[in-house]
């Protein structure tokens, strides 16, 4: 009556194998999350640099604005603009 039964799925060896596989899966997921976080941090640093550059450009443009009491127009982009001369006889166009 003492027959040996084959190892069932509840045997210690199978439990250890299942546990080992679970640990390996969790380890792989942790590695994936770690790599993703590193990429996100790099992207954030890059975006912060772009924001800083944009703020510097905006500050440069704002520094070129005329005083509020000055009624003249100013070319903020630094492009060459020919001054309008009312004595040239040309009417301005409004297209």
**53 inside domain:** yes
CA separation (Å) from 81 to 73, 75, 76, 78?
Answer: 11, 7, 11, 9
More confident of the two residues 4 and 75: 75
57: in domain? yes
The residue ranking higher by pLDDT, 91 or 21, is 21
**Count of domains observed in the chain:** 1
- Residue 35 inside a domain? The answer is yes
Q: Identify the pLDDT of residue 82.
A: 59
Q: Which domain holds residue 54?
A: 29-64
- Whether the Cβ atoms of residue 64 and residue 74 lie closer than 8 Å to each other: yes
Query: Does 12 map to a domain?
Result: no
Q: Which residue has the higher pLDDT, 81 or 59?
A: 59
Express each pLDDT in 17-72 by its tens digit. Answer: 999 999 999 999 999 999 999 999 999 999 999 999 999 999 999 988 877 766 66
Q: Is residue 54 included in any domain, yes or no? A: yes
What is the pLDDT, as a whole number, of residue 7? 46
Q: For residue 76, is it within any domain?
A: no
pTM: 0.50
């Amino acid at each position: 009556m003492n027959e040996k039964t084959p190892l069932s799925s509840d045997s210690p060896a199978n439990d250890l194998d299942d546990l080992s596989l679970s640990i390996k899966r969790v380890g792989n997921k942790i590695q994936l999350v770690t790599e993703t976080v590193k990429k996100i941090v790099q992207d954030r640093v890059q975006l912060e640099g772009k924001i800083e550059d944009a703020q510097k450009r905006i500050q440069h443009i704002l520094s070129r604005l005329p005083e509020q009491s000055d009624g003249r127009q100013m070319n903020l982009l630094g492009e060459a603009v020919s001054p309008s001369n009312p004595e040239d006889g040309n009417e301005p166009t409004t297209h």
